């Protein structure tokens, strides 16, 4: 049985409650490659069955997710390991909280990694597809490395109230296909201290962006926040921005960016120069607004954003809206 009154078990409960206030149950995922290590052995001793006979300790994320109960605010703790690789995980349950146990607080290089295997699995269009309500992801690196032409996203978010903090989302394959680290169609979501895209994988394809805001299976992006995030594009194509909206009804109401950096990673690998983006953000949407506060910046972009009425940039007073927050080389 799970023994929360043991010192180790109580420490786990205290730690989780300090990060995510919840009355839900705690599930643990540790790789079989860690079997025999002290922490692995201790966890198998402490976290066994709950009073209803539900197994709490698992070797795969898929098994742990299958065991949680929707709307129960259950928590899945994942060890800091690179072996959480499998087919796409569709998170259709509500109020499930995923936490990578690597110490936390990182913008990138999280120790807990979830990825698709580098095989032709067309169904794994993303690493994680989130469709549920109020799910949480913390301290996780999400890596799409599938080579099938359909495997184009790191994270697809079609959910409501999603909370993502200290996560990295990227595509490290299909380098000449339109892909995105985050395909965002979420409703009232919150992304904070995240990295979307990366600096070292060169994507040579036009009209591609690490953050793509668009409709997805009938879901629309709306009324959501990106706070303290770095959106990174590494490409030689000047028409590929960091963030793009390609549909007139790609979002509704507004999407707010606060203290975010839109970075063209020129010389991302130290040798190959990326192109100077025509604009850090390209927005075809007319059903709402992209809102950028005056702490947002773009790097190696001719314009901060393209000159459209639906991108509102609170940049330097007196500057054109397309120029505020545009960093330039020192004179």
- If asked whether residues 209 and 276 sit together in one domain, one would say yes
Average pLDDT over residues 147-159: 96
Domain of residue 32: give its range.
Answer: 1-79
Choose between 31 and 209: higher pLDDT: 209
CATH of the domain at 280: 2.160.20
- If asked whether residues 9 and 60 sit together in one domain, one would say yes
- If asked whether residues 160 and 38 sit together in one domain, one would say no
- The pLDDT assigned to 329 comes to 47
* pLDDT per position as a tens digit, 254-295: 999 999 999 998 887 888 777 789 999 999 999 999 999 989
Alpha-helical segments (H) within the chain:
7-19, 38-46, 61-67
Q: What is the dihedral of CA 50, 51, 54, 59, to 10 degrees?
A: 20
What would the DSSP string read from start to end of 74-98?
EEEEEES-S-EE-SPEEE-SSSEEE
- If asked whether residues 70 and 127 sit together in one domain, one would say no
- If asked whether residues 217 and 68 sit together in one domain, one would say no
- The pLDDT assigned to 7 comes to 54
* pLDDT per position as a tens digit, 51-98: 777 888 899 999 999 999 999 999 999 998 887 888 999 999 999 999
Q: Of 128, 134, 107, whose CA–CA distance to 116 is shortest? A: 128
Q: Is the pLDDT of residue 108 over 90?
A: yes
- If asked whether residues 185 and 303 sit together in one domain, one would say yes
- If asked whether residues 75 and 130 sit together in one domain, one would say no
Q: Is residue 64, in this structure, part of any structural domain at all? A: yes
Q: Where residue 323 falls among pLDDT bands split at 50, 70, 90? A: low
- If asked whether residues 49 and 118 sit together in one domain, one would say no
Q: Is residue 94, in this structure, part of any structural domain at all? A: no
Choose between 50 and 218: higher pLDDT: 218
- The pLDDT assigned to 5 comes to 42
Q: Where residue 4 falls among pLDDT bands split at 50, 70, 90? A: very low
- The pLDDT assigned to 6 comes to 52
Average pLDDT over residues 190-212: 95
- State how far the Cα of 6 lies from the Cα of 28, in Å rounded to an integer: 16
- If asked whether residues 111 and 257 sit together in one domain, one would say yes
214 with 246: CB under 8 angstroms? Answer: yes
- The pLDDT assigned to 267 comes to 82
Q: Is residue 99, in this structure, part of any structural domain at all? A: no
Choose between 191 and 299: higher pLDDT: 191
Q: Is the pLDDT of residue 107 over 50?
A: yes
- If asked whether residues 55 and 141 sit together in one domain, one would say no
Q: Where residue 237 falls among pLDDT bands split at 50, 70, 90? A: very high
Q: Of 94, 166, 156, 160, whose CA–CA distance to 127 is shortest? A: 156
Computed over its alpha carbons, how large is the radius of gyration of the chain? 20
Q: Is residue 168, in this structure, part of any structural domain at all? A: yes
Q: Is residue 97, in this structure, part of any structural domain at all? A: no
- State how far the Cα of 167 lies from the Cα of 129, in Å rounded to an integer: 15
The per-residue b/e assignment along 60-89, b for 16 or more CB within 10 angstroms, e otherwise, is bbeebbebbeeeebbbbbbbbbebbbbebb
- State how far the Cα of 62 lies from the Cα of 326, in Å rounded to an integer: 43
- State how far the Cα of 192 lies from the Cα of 260, in Å rounded to an integer: 10
Total structural domains within the chain:
2
Angle at 304 between CA 300 and CA 308, to 5 degrees: 145
Q: Is residue 100, in this structure, part of any structural domain at all? A: no
Mean predicted lDDT score pLDDT of the chain = 88
- State how far the Cα of 262 lies from the Cα of 248, in Å rounded to an integer: 22
Q: Is residue 2, in this structure, part of any structural domain at all? A: yes
- If asked whether residues 141 and 223 sit together in one domain, one would say yes
- If asked whether residues 132 and 222 sit together in one domain, one would say yes
Q: Is residue 96, in this structure, part of any structural domain at all? A: no
- The pLDDT assigned to 246 comes to 96
pTM over 0.75? The answer is: yes
- The pLDDT assigned to 49 comes to 76
């Amino acid at each position: 049985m799970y023994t929360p009154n043991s010192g180790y078990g109580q420490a786990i409960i205290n730690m989780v409650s300090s990060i995510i206030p919840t009355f839900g149950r705690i599930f643990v995922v540790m790789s079989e490659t860690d079997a025999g290590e002290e922490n692995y052995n201790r966890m198998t001793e402490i976290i066994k069955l709950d009073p209803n006979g539900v197994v709490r300790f698992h070797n795969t994320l898929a098994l742990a997710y299958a065991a949680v109960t929707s709307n129960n605010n259950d928590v899945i703790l994942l060890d800091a390991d690179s072996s959480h690789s499998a087919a796409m995980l569709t998170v259709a349950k509500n109020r499930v909280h995923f936490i990578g146990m690597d110490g936390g607080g990182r913008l990138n290089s999280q120790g807990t990694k979830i990825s698709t295997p580098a095989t032709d699995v067309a169904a794994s269009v993303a690493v994680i597809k989130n469709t549920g309500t109020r799910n949480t992801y913390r301290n996780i690196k999400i890596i799409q490395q599938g080579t099938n032409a359909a495997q184009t996203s790191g994270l697809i978010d079609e959910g409501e109230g999603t909370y993502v903090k200290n996560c990295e989302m990227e595509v490290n394959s299909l380098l000449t296909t339109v892909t995105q680290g985050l395909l965002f169609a979420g409703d009232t979501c919150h992304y904070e201290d995240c990295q979307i895209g990366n600096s070292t994988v060169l994507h040579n394809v036009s009209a591609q962006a690490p953050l793509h805001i668009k409709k997805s299976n009938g879901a629309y992006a709306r009324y959501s926040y990106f706070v303290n995030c770095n959106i990174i594009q590494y490409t030689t194509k000047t028409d590929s921005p960091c963030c793009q909206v390609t549909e007139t009804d790609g979002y509704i109401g507004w999407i707010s960016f606060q203290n975010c950096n839109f970075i063209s990673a020129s010389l991302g690998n130290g040798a190959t120069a990326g192109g100077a983006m025509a604009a850090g953000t390209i927005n075809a949407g007319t059903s709402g607004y992209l809102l950028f506060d005056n702490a947002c910046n773009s790097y190696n972009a001719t314009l901060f954003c393209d000159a459209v009425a639906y991108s509102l940039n609170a940049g330097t007073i007196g500057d054109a809206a397309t120029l505020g927050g545009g960093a330039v080389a020192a004179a």
